[in-house]
Amino acid sequence: MSDLSDRVKSTVNKVKGEAKDQVGNAKNDTGLQAEGKADKLKGKFQEGMSKLKD
């Protein structure tokens, strides 16, 4: 069950990050873009950690 939870968290962070990045691009808001990139990176890290657990 923990594995599924980790995958969901990583996906949520990647999607949230992509949304923030795109909105930041549209509004020319570099701060929001940076938050989005950080969230995407966090999601990718979580995904990698989940794969290591397998």
Q: Tens of pLDDT along 3-47?
A: 788 889 999 999 999 999 999 999 999 999 999 999 999 999 999
The confidence score (pLDDT) of residue 4 equals 85
Is pLDDT above 50 for 1? no
pTM of the model: 0.86
CB 46 within 8 A of CB 17: no
Quote the CA–CA distance of 29 and 31 in Å, as a whole number: 5
